[in-house]
Amino acid sequence: MTRSEEARKPLSFTDRRPHAVIEEPWGPAEPRTIVIRHGGGWQSLAVLFLCLLLAGAVLLGHWVLRGLDRNDQEASAAMARAERKIQQLESGFTFEARRRQLLLGMRNHILKANPKVSLADSYRYAELALSACEKYPGLDPLLLLAIGIVESGYNPQARSPADARGLYQIWPSTGRLLARTLGWTWDDSMLYDPEKNTQAAALYLDVLFSTYKDPQLVLAEYNGGPLNAGYLRAGAAALAAETRNYVPRVLELHQRLQDEFQAGTALAVQADPQDGPERRGKKLGAP
């Protein structure tokens, strides 16, 4: 501020002059009312109902899909169970058919080995041999059949000069050990019982196979004792002549039996059609 400029005095309340009010040409202002319109309640209810309907449709669709999926799973499980049952039935039929063929073939070879044995007894000897081998799965029933043919010709009363007895020619000393293992009370006539002789022979062969793993050594000990098995393993000249001939004879017969059963020719020997139930127990070839 310059010196020549006079200082302005502050305006006081009295210095404020009233201004004339200019009246607007359209007249004095009138009060206005603002009206806000709200929608009816039915619209809100309709929206809510549509939302609930949509949610219900979604839930229903989800429930239906879950039901269809559950039905598909149950149908798949039922089909799998049915397929398993069919496979079990087919395997059962196949097993029984093969077992039946094996029994009949073994019976026929027993009849050829001993024409004096009855049809019923030959079938019984085959059944005893097969059941014993099923008890000891490591033993081939055709090998047991070959041993029975070579040892006794399937004569249950056979007795060798060395006192081996029964269908599979078991020594009494060996029989006592086997009877103890099987929980039997030993009796001198036990080895002439076809059932017990067969079970004892199967157990003995199972033990020998667990020991040697070699059929030649198994047969050498079965025929001539552990000393002969040692001679055979060592190729010693002290091997008994009987054992020297016995081992290849049984093995060759076993191989021939396997070939016949595989080719299906083991059933070629059939009983006479007249051999019905009324001939059970009669000797073949008898009048």
Portion of the chain with pLDDT greater than 70, in percent: 73
Confidence bin at 215 (pLDDT 50/70/90): very high
Whether 122 contacts 107, CB under 8 Å = yes
Predicted confidence at residue 255, as pLDDT, reads 96
Please determine, for residue 287, whether its predicted confidence score (pLDDT) is greater than 60: no
Confidence bin at 61 (pLDDT 50/70/90): confident
The label of the residue with tokens 């310059």 reads 2
Distance CA 22, CA 12 (A): 25
Average pLDDT over residues 120-147: 96
Whether 132 contacts 199, CB under 8 Å = yes
Confidence bin at 144 (pLDDT 50/70/90): very high
Helix 226-234 to helix 241-263 angle (10° resolution) is 80
Which residues make Cβ contacts (< 8 Å) with residue 198, sequence separation at least 6? Answer: 125, 128, 129, 132, 144, 167, 168
Please determine, for residue 208, whether its predicted confidence score (pLDDT) is greater than 70: yes
Which residues make Cβ contacts (< 8 Å) with residue 201, sequence separation at least 6? Answer: 132, 144, 147, 148, 167, 168, 170
Distance CA 71, CA 240 (A): 74
* Residue 165 dihedral angles phi and psi, to the nearest 5°: -130, 155
Average pLDDT over residues 26-54: 68
Rounded to whole angstroms, what are the CA distances from 236 to 52, 125, 209, 229?
A: 99, 36, 22, 10
Predicted confidence at residue 91, as pLDDT, reads 52
Picking from 83-87, 179-183, 191-195, 248-252, which range would have the lowest pLDDT averaged per residue? 83-87
Please determine, for residue 100, whether its predicted confidence score (pLDDT) is greater than 60: yes
Residue 47, token pair as written in the block: 């929206």
Whether 139 contacts 133, CB under 8 Å = yes
The mean predicted confidence, pLDDT, of the chain is 81
Burial level of 174, CB count in 10 A (0-12/13-18/19+)? middle
Distance CA 191, CA 137 (A): 23
Confidence bin at 197 (pLDDT 50/70/90): very high
CATH label, 89-266, candidates 3.40.50.620, 3.90.45.10, 1.10.530.10, 3.40.1690.10: 1.10.530.10
Which residues make Cβ contacts (< 8 Å) with residue 156, sequence separation at least 6? Answer: 125, 166, 167, 192, 193, 194, 197
Predicted confidence at residue 219, as pLDDT, reads 97
Predicted structure pTM score: 0.63
Please determine, for residue 131, whether its predicted confidence score (pLDDT) is greater than 60: yes
Average pLDDT over residues 249-276: 75
- Which residue has better confidence, 197 or 269? 197
Please determine, for residue 85, whether its predicted confidence score (pLDDT) is greater than 80: no
Closest CA to 196 of 211, 174, 220: 174
- Which residue has better confidence, 55 or 157? 157
Please determine, for residue 274, whether its predicted confidence score (pLDDT) is greater than 70: no
Predicted confidence at residue 53, as pLDDT, reads 83
Average pLDDT over residues 204-224: 95
Average pLDDT over residues 39-66: 79
Rounded to whole angstroms, what are the CA distances from 91 to 30, 108, 140, 263?
A: 106, 25, 20, 21
Predicted confidence at residue 35, as pLDDT, reads 52
Please determine, for residue 285, whether its predicted confidence score (pLDDT) is greater than 60: no
Q: What's at 169, amino acid-wise? A: Q
